Structure 1
Amino acid sequence: MRVFICFAGSCEPLDVPPDQTVGAMKQMVKDNFLVQLSDDKQQQYLELSYGGAVLQDSWALCDVGITSGSAIRCLIKSEQRPVMLVFNAVTGETLPIMGSEALLHVSVARLKTVVSMQSGLPVSAFRLSTPAGVQLYDCNQLQDYAIEVGTTLRLDTWDGWVEFLQGCLLGHRSTVQSHLSEKKPVMRFQLQVALHIAASLGHLDLAGWLLERGAHAEEPVGVHPYRQWCHQTAHQDTRKCPIHIAAESSQLLILKLFITNNLLTLACRDPGGRDTLKVAIQRGHRDCVRYLANKLCSVVSLPNVSLPMRIYLQIKRWVSLGQKKAASNRGQYTSAAFKARVGDTLLVDGFNQPNMCSKSRKAVTKPSRRNEAKALQPLPPTNNLLSAPHLPSLQAVNPADCKEMHNSWKQDVKNREEGLLNEIRKDDSSLFRSKFILPPIREGIPKQVFIGASPTSYHILIGSLKSSSQHGGRTPRENAIYCWTIASAFTEKPWLKQLSIARTLIRKRVHTMA
């Protein structure tokens, strides 16, 4: 069968069998027309078309209706080849990283910035790793990991966050709400991450709901609470705010929502010192630039005076800082309550097992459920336990003996406290005129549990008290009596001031032992 190949302005005949495939025909065209394809920076390939349709390599000529005398058009197509690929474990998609080979010599932090802009995820919500599973750290260069052109990296997120991030990317408010963490520090971080994604992708409904839940467009996303001890070495983009992301992504409706909610977002600056208007100008988003410029050049009308927007923003910022400082002095500013606490997990690069393996929430909670199931297994019959030969025989206990032991223990505690007070009076009898006695220890009363304390905080506290008693020579109760007795000598001070003095003495003693 003879067909005609139209290539480069000429039409040449070519004899092929009817069952010839398109892929084999392309090779014949290369040999007859001496076509050379370049694979340097752009990938070039041949494209055959018949009747306006592009022919696939696996098709046979007779199957697509090509008969003898048909004319087939041949073109050389070129497309830019990506430098590397990133497999997103959250969405299951592969992101192409375009550019020149110079991208292989940049830092990992720079690559994470590019991946963050393409995927919409903040840099603190994912990590990158090589095909061999080696994690890429921000401070290193890509060439340190021997990454070549065409390498496929892997993007992983925090364990138990897959469903949460999928809901954020799709803008499903109910999905995001159902997968928020029960821990307040982690939940607050998740709200900022969700607001970052909503600002990047333009999910207006999700962004409005997040603002109602307490997320702030003028606050940076930051790092995970487990990594707050390492925030000095965190990625620079962790200090970006959702308002900057909206300006970079040209999300005008999101910008209007953020500015309407809080005018201070106009004066918010990114890590490079740029405000929102400069970010929009450098990105070339005309609609955002026009809106922001009109806002900054407007006038704010107050009851007795009208102020330019820039002066009004500066005054409002001063007032906000003053309110935070005053609330902090009164102990009412609760922003520090969301920081890391004693007993929380601490993650340091290179020293912990990675907690960012993109495990689903069901896979993370499944082991704990297994443990609960084991703990709830039925106990063996009581008769079998009592009949075991290795158990000692039970003996009757006299209640009078228990009461006598308890009274002797209370008398011993009282004697020790009296001896401590006498020792204090001997040191300076003129200083202490009053005698302070703590209430007796009462057993059977459950210990107080602090709201928000981690499960291991109690064991850490008990260990600290034992260490203090061992090195200080006094039990915590004796130390409290000692410090309060000294503080009670300041009779001209009110009771709360005396309590503050006693607490200061205890802290100084702890620092001295350390």
Structure 2
Amino acid sequence: MRVFIAFEGLCESFDILPGQTVKDAKQMIKNFFHIQLSDDKQGRRYLELTYAGGVLRDEWVLADAGVTLCSTIKCAVKDEEKPALYIYNAVTQEKVPIMGNVHLLTETVAKLKSLVSLKCGFPVSVFCLRTIDGKEMYDCNILSDYKLELGATLRLDVWDGWKELLSDCVLGHSQNVQWHLSKNEAILRYQQRVALYIAAHFGHLKMAEWLQKKGVRADEAIGVHPYKEWCCETYHPDIGKGAIHAAAEAGQMLLIKAFVARNVLCLECQTPFGQTPLRISIHKGHKDCVLYLIMKMWSVVSFPKISLPMNIYIKVKKWLFVAQKKICKLKRWAPQFKTRVGDPFVVDGFTEPKMTSKDLHNLHQHKWKKIIRSYTNSQSQSSQDFANAVLKLQPKTEKEKIPTPSRFPPVMKTSDNLDRLEAESYSMDIIHNNLWNAQIPLPPITSINSNLPHNLTMPQATLLLNSSLESFSKHLGRTPRQNAIYYLSLASEFKEKPWLQQLDMARTLAKKTVYQL
């Protein structure tokens, strides 16, 4: 099959054999045009073939991708810069690339944390960074002090017991966030500010409105965890950011409007570096946010007998807010949530680490074991007391046996080689399952045979079909339905092709996958 390759203003013909892949065609093009390619730690230079508006993958056969006789394929040389570092997020379990070059390794850990915060949407006071060996990285140190290389992977860990909370904040589940909030008032206020910051980054409008109704302000600085309030000299500068700054950095137009509509002080709220939301939006290139903020800054606030420009109105509002805070302090109306004597604290490098991303189950496992142990002991003791009472009331003969009371659950017996901790966790799972079964009824189980054709409803045919589907999912890592959706999405990238041809291409690629297994 002869095809034409268009490269840098030239168009040359190539003879492609029926079984040759895109990778083989790239090798022919490289040798013909004498193209220099590279692949190192800092980046790579590679060839990219496009046909009908879609990019051809190396493992595809040209005929399967819909390339016909005398078709024209575009060829281009691409330069791809490889990430300098990778950050494994323990909350979302994703690998976040941090772009840069070798000069990034000469920066401080605080600078890297600022870049990571922009990528993942977490405030810098919520997480810490660790090397693969588990060594914690402190803000004042240089990255090269930890002997990192280009392409190294670091781990992002959060406060113990916060994994579920932050995961629900990322997804925008307000009810689950409320369930995971702390009962300690100081930690609660800090968690609410963190939740509003994450909602502003990801654009969760409903969760942001709910938190603002709780009294959380978008222009208020995130601050630090109450365990670290005493060590102000080592604070990261980005703890002075608020939720409005996170919305401006991410370009969340709806969140900016919601914050400004509730509190106009958000327009003049500044970071520790003196950046307002308008300056941040200009720097990030969010045109819609810039136009809205400029319009609000140059607007006029009208009252029955007077009209004030927005900048004058904001100054008056700030003055009233400061005066109100002083009056509340004098009369002790507003509660002050500050660190007091007896509160736990964290000293980096000296106290036991509190940022290891432990979930709630592992964090409170010892408490739950005590509860399960006391529950089983109380049940066994109560059943034994009842049996003794029956013995006193009813004299028994040698042949009589006192039955176990039915209203008391029997004590679980384990074998000698079963570990005690496993028995306790097993009993704890039973209790949790019973609770969920009592509160949430499960839907009825439907039979898979009802959806199959009549010729496949026989037991042998059903067994054969199920075993084939299981082996397919095991080796490929996707179900047949997921595999079909995957190739349909790939084929839809070839926008210049009609839809039926895209469908035929997806069917061909899916068949190829089955044949290769």
- On whether the aligned pair clears a TM of 0.5, the verdict is yes
Give the whole-Å Cα distance in 2 for the aligned partners of 1:284 and 1:57.
36
Alpha-carbon offset, residue 261 of structure 1 = 1.4
- Assess, with a 3 A threshold, how the Cα gap between structure 1 residues 317 and 292 changes in structure 2: closer, same or farther: same
The answer on 1:293 being equivalent to 2:270 is no
* RMSD, aligned CA: 3.2
What is aligned with 1:194? 195
Distance 2:159 2:199 in 1: 19
Shift of 1:193: 0.6
Instruction: Kindly provide the amino acid, as one letter, of the partner of residue 251 in structure 1.
Output: Q
**Equivalent in the alignment of 2:442:** none
Structure 2 equivalent of residue 282 of structure 1: 283
Q: 1:105-144 counterparts in 2 under 5 A?
A: 105-144=106-145
What is the deviation of 1:30?
4.5
Per-residue CA deviations over 1:392-421 (Å, capped at 9, x if unaligned) read: xxxxxxxxxxxxxxxxxxxxxxxxxxxxxx
* Aligned AA (1:287): D
- CA deviation after TM superposition for structure 1 residue 267, in Å: 3.0
- Mapping of residues 73-92 of structure 1, within 5 Å: 75-92=76-93
For 1:33 and 1:133, how far apart are their aligned partners in 2? 48
Q: Return closer, same or farther for 1:14/1:133 CA change in 2, 3 Å cut-off.
A: farther
Q: Structure 1 counterpart of 2:161, which letter?
A: G
Indicate conservation of the 8 Å contact 2:16/2:25, yes or no. Answer: no
SS at match of 2:357: coil
Could you tell me which residue of structure 2 aligns to residue 38 of structure 1?
38
Instruction: Give the partner amino acid of 1:194.
Output: A
CA 1:331–1:64: 2 relative to 1, 3 Å: closer
Aligned equivalents of 2:279, 2:55: Cα separation in 1: 46
Amino acid at match of 1:215: V
Aligned to 2:319: 318
Contact 1:3 1:71 in 2 (8 A): no
Shift of 1:215: 0.9
Alpha-carbon distance, 1:272 to partner = 1.3
Structure 1 counterpart of 2:339, which letter?
A
- Whole-Å Cα distance in 2 between the matches of residues 250 and 356 of structure 1? 30
Q: What is the SS of the residue equivalent to 2:353?
A: coil
Q: Which AA in structure 2 matches 1:35?
A: I
Tell which deviates more after alignment, 182-191 or 263-272.
263-272
Matches within 5 A, 1:154-169: 154-169=155-170
Q: What is the letter of the counterpart of residue 344 of structure 1?
A: D
Aligned length: 379
**What TM-score do you get using the length of structure 1 for normalisation?**
0.65
Q: Tell me by how many angstroms 1:175 deviates.
A: 2.0
Matched residues, percent identical? 45
CA separation in 1, counterparts of 2:276 and 2:312? 15
Specify whether residues 378 and 144 from structure 1 end up closer, same or farther in structure 2 by C-alpha distance, changes over 3 A only: same
Residues 1:315 and 1:59: Cα distance change in structure 2 (over 3 Å): closer
What SS is found at the alignment partner of 2:38? coil
Q: Look up the match of 1:355.
A: 354
Q: Who is 2:153 aligned against?
A: 152
| Larger CA deviation: 370-379 vs 140-149 | 370-379
Q: Alpha carbons of 1:239 and 1:58: their partners in 2 closer, same or farther (altered >3 Å)?
A: same
Aligned equivalents of 1:182 and 1:3: distance in 2?
A: 72
CA contact (8 A) 1:223 1:231 kept: no
Q: Where in structure 2 are the equivalents of 1:351-390 lying within 5 Å?
A: 351-378=350-377
Shift of 1:174: 1.5
Name the counterpart of 1:179.
180
C-alpha separation in 2, matches of 1:64 and 1:252: 41
Q: For the residues of structure 2 that align with 1:156 and 1:125, how far apart are their CA atoms? A: 9
Partner of 2:222: 221
CA distance in 2, matches of 1:129, 1:306: 55
Corresponding residue number in structure 2 for 1:244:
245
Name the counterpart of 2:310: 309
Where 1:229 maps in the other structure, the secondary structure is coil
Task: Please say which of residues 79-88 and 218-227 is displaced more in the overlay.
Answer: 79-88
CA shift, 1:219, in A, is: 0.9
Aligned residue identity for 1:137: Y
Matches of 2:293 and 2:71 in 1, distance apart? Answer: 60
Asked whether the 8 Å contact 1:3–1:72 carries over to 2, the reply is: no
Residue range with higher mean Cα deviation, 342-351 or 29-38: 29-38
- The answer to whether the Cα contact below 8 Å between 1:218 and 1:241 also exists between their aligned partners in 2 is yes
Quote how far apart the aligned CAs of 1:306 are.
3.4
Instruction: Determine the structure 1 residue equivalent to 2:477.
Output: none
Residue 313 of structure 1: CA displacement? Answer: 2.3
How has the CA–CA distance of structure 1 residues 273 and 23 changed in structure 2, closer, same or farther, with 3 Å as cutoff? closer
Q: Looking at both structures, which has the greater relative contact order when contacts are Cα pairs under 8 Å and sequence separation is at least 6?
A: 2
For residues 36 and 152 of structure 1, the distance between their equivalents in structure 2, rounded to whole angstroms, comes to: 29
CA distance in 2, matches of 1:240, 1:233: 16
| Contact 1:5-1:74 within 8 A present in 2 as well | no
- Deviations 1:190-220, CA, capped at 9 Å, x for gaps: 1101111111222111111000112111210
Equivalent position SS for 1:226: helix
Alpha-carbon separation, structure 2, partners of 1:295 and 1:62: 58
Amino acid at match of 1:236: P
Q: Tell me, what secondary structure is at the counterpart of 1:326?
A: helix
**CA shift at 1:347, angstroms?**
0.9
- Alpha-carbon offset, residue 239 of structure 1: 0.6
Q: Deviations over 1:27-47 (max 9, x none)?
A: 565456543213365412234
The verdict on how the C-alpha distance between 1:23 and 1:215 changes in structure 2, with shifts beyond 3 A counting, is same
Looking at structure 2, the residues matched to 378 and 87 of structure 1 have their Cα atoms a distance apart, in angstroms, of: 43
Unpaired runs of 5+ residues, structure 1, are 385-514
In structure 2, the residue matched to 1:94 is 95
Aligned equivalents of 2:34 and 2:327: distance in 1? 81
1:99-135 alpha-carbon deviations (Å, 9 max, x no partner):
3332221111111111111111111111112222222
C-alpha separation in 1, matches of 2:370 and 2:240: 40
Equivalent AA in structure 2 for residue 117 of structure 1: L
After superposition, the C-alpha distances for 1:295-354 in whole angstroms (9 at most, x for unaligned) are 3333333454433332332233222222222221222231x2x22233322111111232
Residues 235-294 of structure 1: CA distance to partner in whole angstroms, max 9, x if unpaired? 100011112222232223222221221222233221112333333333343333333333
Work out whether 1:206 is the aligned partner of 2:207: yes
Structure 2 gaps of 5+ residues are: 385-517
Find the residue that maps to 1:181 and give its secondary structure.
coil
Aligned equivalents of 1:167, 1:326: Cα separation in 2: 38
1:332 paired to 2:333: yes
Moved more, 171-180 or 57-66: 57-66
Contact in 1 for aligned 2:4/2:70 (Cα 8 Å): no
Please say if residues 172 and 206 of structure 1, whose CA atoms lie closer than 8 Å, have aligned partners that are also in contact.
yes
Q: Whole-Å Cα distance in 2 between the matches of residues 226 and 94 of structure 1?
A: 29
The verdict on how the C-alpha distance between 1:26 and 1:232 changes in structure 2, with shifts beyond 3 A counting, is same
How has the CA–CA distance of structure 1 residues 276 and 52 changed in structure 2, closer, same or farther, with 3 Å as cutoff?
A: closer
Q: Distance in 1 between matches of 2:260 and 2:35?
A: 58
Q: How far apart are the structure 1 equivalents of 2:15 and 2:63?
A: 15
Higher Rg of the two aligned structures:
1
Greater shift, 266-275 or 67-76, is seen at 67-76
Q: Distance in 2 between matches of 1:228 and 1:221?
A: 12
* Counterpart secondary structure, 1:124: coil
Aligned to 2:436: none
Partner AA of 1:86 in structure 2? I
CA distance in 1, matches of 2:235, 2:344: 17
Counterpart-to-counterpart distance in 2, 1:294 and 1:165: 34
Letter in 1 for 2:351: N
Q: Distance in 2 between matches of 1:316 and 1:63?
A: 67
